[in-house]
Amino acid sequence: AGKVVKEYYTSCHGGKQTSANVYLPYGYDENQKYNIFYLMHGGGENQDTLFSNDVNLHKILDHMIMNGDIEPMIVVTPTFYSSNEGDFWQELLQNLIPHVEGKYSTYAESTSAEDIKASRYHRAFGGFSMGSVCTWHTLINAIDYIAYFMPLSGDSWVGNSNDEKAQNIVNAIKKAGYAPDEYFIFCATGSEDIAYPNIAPQVEAMKKHTDTFIYSSDLSEGNFYFLVAPGKTHWWGYVVHYV
């Protein structure tokens, strides 16, 4: 089994003390470099939810690594309650990434903004429900630092109509100046998930921007995919399978 350790740090948002859990894969070796995935909880949950006995994400990671489905990697579960879902990206960049990646071995050579940017292909951010709302905000504001995004069962709250939400995402990507092979979005939900009616039309609006989103489940062919799990509802018990 890997190891889950708790890391305490101070948030730039009101100077609050907060914490995140860090999953270190079995055999973690500080002389190796690891990809890192920040994964956010949903409304009413916290930084402990994903590695609790309710969700057991750590056990899924243990098995996926053991079976060779994924490379050993670091997975961090923070909370947006030290801040809020819309502003968490500031705490992520100013406090959490420097704290965690200054301590554990990732592809970041140092915790300078420059080195975090240089290692963006080795960093992902995702979340469920309100954590997905947080993920869209993070994409819009921190794409220079993170190349992979996993919004699960939650729409973007940046914009009113679906066209506006799609346009705001496109604008952020264009402003940052990335080509379609320089960012990746894996979106997922269940067909019976309460967020399905919010996220599905947003995905359709995004698909219209064919110069920005190239729809494919194959990352070598495209940068955007929407998985819909038949019959599944708004519950981590299903959502861990999308992860």
**Residue ranges binding ligand FER (CB under 6 A):** 42-43, 129-130, 133, 154-155, 194-195, 198-199
Shortest CB 131 distance to ligand FER, Å: 9
CA–CA separation, 187 and 193 (whole Å): 13
Closer CB to ligand FER, residue 87 or residue 182?
87
Q: Which is nearer to ligand FER, 36 or 134 (CB)?
A: 134
Residue nearest to ligand FER (CB): 43
What three-state secondary structure class fits 94?
helix
Instruction: Give Cα separations from 46 to 9, 26, 131, 162, 219 (angstroms).
Output: 15, 24, 10, 29, 31
Which is nearer to ligand FER, 43 or 237 (by Cβ)? Answer: 43
Question: Shortest gap between Cβ of 66 and ligand FER (angstroms)?
Answer: 33
Least distance (Å) between residue 65 CB and ligand FER: 30
Nearer to ligand FER, 58 or 234 (CB): 234
CB-based contact 127:151 (threshold 8 Å): yes
* Burial of residue 44 (number of CB atoms within 10 Å: 0-12, 13-18, 19+): exposed
Provide the minimum distance between the beta carbon of 201 and ligand FER in the complex, in angstroms, as a whole number.
11
Q: CA 213, CA 34: separation in Å to the nearest integer?
A: 27
Report the run of H or E that residue 66 belongs to, with start and end: helix 57-66
Residue 182 CB, nearest approach to ligand FER (Å) = 27
CB of 193 to ligand FER, least distance (A): 8
Q: Quote the CA–CA distance of 180 and 214 in Å, as a whole number.
A: 7
Nearer to ligand FER, 201 or 222 (CB): 201
Q: Which residue has the tokens 């952020």?
A: 172
80, two tokens: 């947006």
Helical (H) or strand (E) element with 77: strand 73-77
Question: Closest distance between ligand FER and the C-beta of residue 82, in Å?
Answer: 17
In the complex with ligand FER, the residue whose CB is nearer, 76 or 199, is 199
Query: CA 184 from chain center: how many Å?
Result: 11
**Closer CB to ligand FER, 21 or 156, in the complex:** 156
Single-letter amino acid, residue 36: I
